[in-house]
Amino acid sequence: MPCGRIELRNIEPRNVRMCKEAEYFVASLLNADGASCAEVGTLLRIDAVENATRDTTGQVLACPREAPRVLRVRCAAVGRRRLVNVKNGDAYFDAGARLRGEYLVGEFEDYDDDEGATDAPPPAAAPALAFLARSLEEDERIVVEEAAALATVTTSWEALELWQRYCATRLATVSLESRADRDELIIDAKVRAGGAITIPVDESTLPPDDRRRILAADERAADALQQLEIADAAAFQAILETRSVDGRLTALADGALREGSRVAQRAALQRAFAASP
């Protein structure tokens, strides 16, 4: 979302070079085809660049300070831009260009909300978020309550940034749980087969029955994600492209109400099962 601050860890040579040479850059969502990106992205201002002294696990990095391989980049999101043209699109796919640190250079234009105010009352995003918060606990509840307080015409982006954080966490949690179940199936199959276990496991070497069980687990995981009906990257891209505050708050209200209903229903079922003999 085009608000707030973000910290990046750049490891690719082209990204390292870009953050040393540029003051601003546009972050755009990569499309599913892997060969194109969304037209509308977030404009980021580079505020500070320094050598990263630790990796994501907290371990100290060993690299020459005069030629850092990892950069810690602090940025501020300052607006939206629409991509008009990419001047060197081939550089994205050229391995040599990547090694040389050739980053993509584009032409952009401003992307602001449409002019004209509406007399309609603002969408009820705050009550929808408050409804959801009542069924949550601890950190999730705090994040959603903060989003509810910010769900106004003047701070809609800030509320959406918190909502995006909540949705991304929920999706990541479900994906990790599904991945753990899948890994258990693979390990069990290899243990029963005997012999040394090589990581990663070549699933094509597993018996047909085990492969069918893993496929069924994958299908259940995909179904579980679909049933969540929670906003994903594509949904937030659509919100980013929305050119009215009312449109963004409506999307936020709809998403929060849908999630609140799902969470409340699940809590009610859990209470019913706990009370049954």
pLDDT bin (cut points 50, 70, 90) of residue 68 is: low
CA 159 remoteness from chain centre: 16
Q: Name the burial class of residue 226, with classes exposed (0-12), middle (13-18) and buried (19+) by CB atoms within 10 angstroms of its CB.
A: exposed
C-alpha to C-alpha distance for 271 and 109, rounded to whole angstroms: 53
CA 121 to CA 276: how far, in whole Å? 45
For the cut 60, the answer to whether the pLDDT of residue 61 exceeds it is no
Which residue in 176, 198, 167 sits closest to 263, CA to CA? 167
What's this model's pTM, rounded to 2 decimal places? 0.81
119-133, 165-179, 207-221: range with lowest mean pLDDT: 119-133
Residues 237 and 29: beta-carbon distance below 8 Å: yes
Q: Is the pLDDT of residue 106 over 50?
A: yes
Going from N- to C-terminal start, the domains of the chain cover 5-110, 125-275
Q: Is 125 exposed, middle or buried (0-12, 13-18, 19+ CB in 10 A)?
A: buried
Q: Which residue has the higher pLDDT, 274 or 211?
A: 211
Q: What is d(CA 5, CA 196) in angstroms, rounded to the nearest whole number? A: 47
Looking at residue 64, what is its pLDDT? 45
Q: Is the per-residue pLDDT at 239 higher than 60?
A: yes
Contact present, 150 and 122 (Cβ < 8 Å): no
Q: Are 257 and 131 within 8 A, CB to CB? A: yes
> Cβ(250)–Cβ(123) under 8 Å?
yes
Phi-psi region of 27 (alpha: psi -120 to 50; beta: other; left: phi over 0): beta
Query: Where residue 226 falls among pLDDT bands split at 50, 70, 90?
Result: confident
Q: Which residue has the higher pLDDT, 99 or 23?
A: 23
* CATH architecture of structural domain 5-110: Roll (2.30)
